[in-house]
Amino acid sequence: MNRIHSSNWNFPARFLSATHQMGRILRRDVIGMTPEQIRKTLDGFARLYPGHMSVGYESTHMGSVPAARLYPKHPRNANLNQHILLIHGGGFAFGSARTHRALASALVIEMECEVWLPEYRLAPEHAFPEPLEDVLEAYAHLSSNAKDVWVLGDSAGGNLAMTLCLDAAEKGWASPKGLMLLSPWLDLTPNSKSNRASHTEQSPFDRLDMIEYATHYLQGTPPYHPRCNPLVRDLSDLPLIYAEASEMEYLWPDYERMRKAFAKTPERFIGRVEAHALHGWQLFPDLLPEAKRSIKGMTAFMSKTLVDSL
């Protein structure tokens, strides 16, 4: 497992802690931002960072699910064989194809592939299992029209991505070539190890936020439900996994728990660790060196898996 220590985000710890605390106070106690307001704010900022100009962006549908398709405008190979289903994070309540467009664009360039981003329904307006049903429909649509499909999810999208792969196996659907998880949020229970650790010094969110977002998504479903807490399920049917996280981020304990789940089958799990990156660093591949390393890690995983499967 690689441990990387250099980062552009190595601000003084006291500065980070004070900044995150002030952000929580303003967002939650002063402004009282709703999930809808957070969505609009993030999407507004995302318009300033659309990704590489050589990547095309098309609004489309995957079955009945709205989606975006990103593709190389001038591909070297006329037949694009690799397709990534990118399930965005955002606490099940926000995030979109726009917020993850730069990440998707970097993968399009490096792998010369297509990246599909389903705009699944968001909580609290749409609770479990509706967001999961949307990503399942998106995967069914893509896998029926493409040979090599990869599933990628970050944060809450990592929860949906792992559950999608487990559900697909139970349904007898074709397995993806691989599953890539970026700082996944896999344990939604209020007393999870991540919540108990509560790394608020390095996170704009704290335990109260995480419980709130989980409640928005669950709305009465037990947090230990196997389709909401996928690590309690039989993981033997999952495809090969690439996962990464930062030692200083809020969800580090979720990553550690996942890594330990594959301790007896290490050949099925490839982990990569950043020491000082902040949660969501992968969304800025043109700005942050740690994000560039993430793109290289994912593309190396995909390339090696393809070679090994020949």
Q: How far, in Å, CA of 56 to CA of 112, rounded?
A: 12
Residue given tokens 């900044």 in the structure block: 19
For the segment 7-41, what is each residue's pLDDT rounded down to a tens digit? 445 555 554 555 555 565 556 655 667 888 888 88
Is residue 272 a contact partner of residue 242, using CB atoms and an 8 Å limit?
Answer: yes
Q: Which domain holds residue 16?
A: 2-308
Which two structure tokens, joined as six digits, stand for 117?
Answer: 């981003």
62 neighbors 136 (Cβ within 8 angstroms) = no
Cα(161)–Cα(117) distance, rounded to whole angstroms? 12
Residue recorded with tokens 């705009």: 119
CATH of the domain at 56: 3.40.50.1820
**CB–CB of 181/161 below 8 Å?**
yes
pTM of the model: 0.91
Mapped onto helix, strand or coil, the DSSP state of residue 292 is: helix
pLDDT tens for residues 194-223? 999 867 666 767 788 899 999 999 999 999
pLDDT for 69-89, tens place per residue? Answer: 999 998 887 668 899 999 999
Q: How far apart are the two ends of the chain, measured CA to CA in Å?
A: 25
**Structural domains in the chain (count):** 1
Contact 198, 298 (CB under 8 A): no
| Total Cβ atoms within 10 A of residue 33 | 14
Q: Provide the strand spans (E) within 160-220.
A: 178-182
Beta-carbon neighbour count of residue 140 at 10 Å?
A: 17
Query: How many Å apart are CA 152 and CA 42, to the nearest integer?
Result: 21
Helices and strands, counts by H and E, the chain = 9, 9
- What is residue 6's predicted lDDT score, i.e. its pLDDT? 46
Reference 129, options 170, 164, 171; nearest CA is 164
Cβ atoms of 246 and 183 within 8 Å: the answer is yes
- Choose among 89, 140, 90, 79: nearest CA to 114: 79
Specify whether the CB–CB gap between 164 and 132 falls below 8 A: yes
DSSP code of residue 80? -
Residue 178 φ/ψ, nearest 5 degrees? -170, 160
The pLDDT tens digits along the chain (310 residues) read 444 444 445 555 554 555 555 565 556 655 667 888 888 888 998 888 888 889 999 999 999 999 999 999 988 876 688 999 999 999 999 999 999 999 999 999 999 999 999 999 999 999 999 999 999 999 999 999 998 999 999 999 999 999 999 999 999 999 999 999 999 999 999 999 999 986 766 676 778 889 999 999 999 999 999 999 999 999 999 999 999 999 988 999 999 999 999 999 999 999 999 998 888 999 999 999 999 999 999 999 999 999 998 7
HSE-up (13 A, CA, CB side) for residue 89: 21
Q: How many residues does the chain have?
A: 310
Q: CB within 8 A of 236, min separation 6: which ones?
A: none
Best CA proximity match to 184, nearest among 120, 279, 117: 279
**Rounded (5°) CA angle 117-121-127:** 140
